[in-house]
Amino acid sequence: MDGRLDYWNAPDGWPLRRYRLGDGQRGRMLVLGGRGDMIEKYLEVIRHWADRGWAVTSFDWRGQGGSGRLTDDPLCGHIDDFGQWIADLTAFAADWRAEGEGPTVIVAHSMGGHLLLRALAEGMAPPDAAVTVAPMMGVHSAPLPRWLAVAIAGMMCALGFDRKQAWTQKEDSERQRHMRQKRLTHDPDRYADELWWRDHSRDVALGAPSWKWVAQALHSTRAMETHAGLERISVPLLILAARNDRLVSTLAIRRTAARVPGARLHVYGAEAAHEILRELDPVRLDALARIDDFLDEVAPKRNHG
């Protein structure tokens, strides 16, 4: 799509794969993916926003996509501490903000939404507007109660399995693929698109998270429930969620929305699964329209002269 694919080096020298598209007449946008995602999953929406005049930038989180791995298992999604991702995001966003003129907006999905809100709560310089889509403010541990999930993850880390996959991501049979698809999107074509990229670019493919990731996700989401910084977030914020989301807690999203001053929340019904921006067009186009209207209102293009 005539975009630019390169690498940005984190302060410690770790290379993060970066993609940029668009002329920036409207402003500049940073798109953050979720756990296990790669830039390729968001090319469709990146194109949508680039066509609307945004200079869109996206990157793969450290340890996933094209940004290397943190264990010997290339399919294991691992991080020792979510704080590392917060540091990467804060440094990346600072460089990104310095690259040109605004307005600046950040759109973040799932784990990316959690990391964005945590970074803002911890004092990262805010953009002019932010959108989180199905942000991971709580993790579904069902059928296990949360306390038991925390105990198991802690025990597995203590036993030395912290860098091992916490479960097997079975996609060998049509039934297994269909079960995973239903948790993510009702659109079989967009789900097949993800599988195509993973099959044809094995270096960006990722499977299940590590036990350490699970422990960190449970810890970081619980910490955010009592983090006073949420009430201090002043950036205009739109949150989109799905009532029947089976990966993240919609109840936790509702609680978060109530705590961030002025945050706007729209919750889809049974028509949407977790990946709202990769849903069937009636949902996806509605979400894009809501985001575009929100950004036109709160992050208008600056006039010069």
Q: What is the pLDDT of residues 16-32, one digit of tens each?
A: 999 999 989 999 999 99
CA distances to 39, 165, 237, 278 from 42, in Å: 6, 25, 21, 8
Instruction: Over range 143-155, report the average pLDDT.
Output: 90
Does position 180 have pLDDT exceeding 90, yes or no? Answer: no
Instruction: Over range 171-185, report the average pLDDT.
Output: 77
Residue 69 lies inside a defined structural domain of this protein: yes
Residue 303 lies inside a defined structural domain of this protein: no
What band does 172 get if pLDDT is binned at 50, 70 and 90? low
Distance (Å, whole) CA 56 – CA 3? 10
Residue 86 lies inside a defined structural domain of this protein: yes
Provide the sign of the torsion angle of the four alpha carbons 64, 47, 28, 112, taken in this order. Answer: negative
**289-303 pLDDT tens trace:** 999 999 999 999 877
Residue 95 lies inside a defined structural domain of this protein: yes
Residue 18 lies inside a defined structural domain of this protein: yes
Residue 305 lies inside a defined structural domain of this protein: no
More confident residue, 154 or 303: 154
Distance (Å, whole) CA 177 – CA 180? 5
Q: What percentage of the chain has pLDDT greater than the value 90?
A: 78
Position 305 scores a pLDDT of 41
More confident residue, 287 or 204: 287
**60-110 pLDDT tens trace:** 999 999 999 999 999 999 999 999 999 999 999 999 999 988 899 999 999
What region does 13 belong to: left with phi over 0, alpha with psi -120 to 50, or beta? left
- Domain boundaries, position 224: 4-298
Q: List the CATH number of the domain containing 146.
A: 3.40.50.1820
Distance (Å, whole) CA 257 – CA 266? 10
What the block records as the tokens of 185 is 């999107």
Q: What percentage of the chain has pLDDT greater than the value 70?
A: 97
Number of domains in the chain: 1
Compute the C-alpha angle 299/302/305, nearest 5°.
170
Residue 84 lies inside a defined structural domain of this protein: yes
Distance (Å, whole) CA 48 – CA 44? 6
Mean pLDDT for all residues in the chain: 93
Nearest Cα neighbor of 275 from 186, 170, 192, 197 is 186
